[in-house]
């Protein structure tokens, strides 16, 4: 089971947060959003396929996330939880912690924004750069 979300870069992408990774439908980004990797996403939590959301709401479901910004690909692994809402209309957040709100897609992730290679992040500081977040559930 797989779903893809497209997004674009922004001049204020920092990718320095130690606990989360986020993409947003919002077109703008301030430097306070140091977990945000991309803007103008074509989907948020609320837009995801219902079968994917149902699987993510099962404890122990393994989710693999690939962040592709040519020529780079960055892998994150995390888990679903029966407490996930997956209902936010603008954002998707991957968390190292078990904290859940409407923006949370996966918990107990093995990486955060800080772990993303700087070469990939540098590409995303250009608003012309396009990226894809691929969500895969086995």
Structural domain total, the chain: 1
Largest CA distance in the chain: 38
Alpha carbon distance 35, 61 (integer Å): 24
Here the CATH number for the domain that contains residue 43 is 2.60.120.630
Alpha carbon distance 82, 120 (integer Å): 33
Alpha carbon distance 95, 118 (integer Å): 20
Is pTM beyond 0.85 here?
yes
> How would you write the pLDDT of the chain (138 residues) with one tens digit per residue?
999 999 999 999 999 999 999 999 999 999 999 999 999 999 999 999 999 999 999 999 999 999 999 999 999 999 999 999 999 999 999 999 999 999 999 999 999 999 999 999 999 999 999 999 999 998
Instruction: Show the domain range for 96.
Output: 2-137
3-state secondary structure labels for all residues of the chain? CEEEEEEECCCCCCCCCCCEEEEECCCCCCCCCCCEEEECCCCCHHHCCHHHHHHHCCCCCEEEEEEEECCEEEEEEEECCCCCCCCCCCEEEEECCCCCCCCEEEECCCCCHHHCCHHHHHHCCCCCCEEEEEEEEC
Q: Which residues contact 32 (CB under 8 A, 6 or more apart)?
A: none
């Amino acid at each position: 089971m797989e779903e893809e979300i497209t997004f674009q870069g922004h001049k204020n992408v920092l990718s320095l947060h130690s606990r989360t990774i986020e993409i947003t439908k919002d077109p703008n980004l301030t430097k306070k959003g140091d977990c945000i990797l991309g803007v103008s996403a074509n989907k948020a939590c609320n837009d995801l396929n219902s079968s994917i959301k149902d699987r993510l709401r099962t404890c122990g479901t393994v989710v693999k996330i690939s962040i592709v910004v040519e020529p780079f690909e960055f892998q994150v692994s995390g888990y679903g939880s029966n407490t996930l809402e997956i209902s936010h209309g603008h954002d998707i957040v991957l968390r190292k912690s078990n904290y859940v709100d409407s923006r949370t897609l996966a918990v107990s992730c093995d990486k955060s924004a800080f772990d993303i290679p700087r070469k990939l992040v540098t590409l995303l500081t250009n608003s012309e750069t396009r990226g894809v977040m691929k969500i895969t559930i086995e």
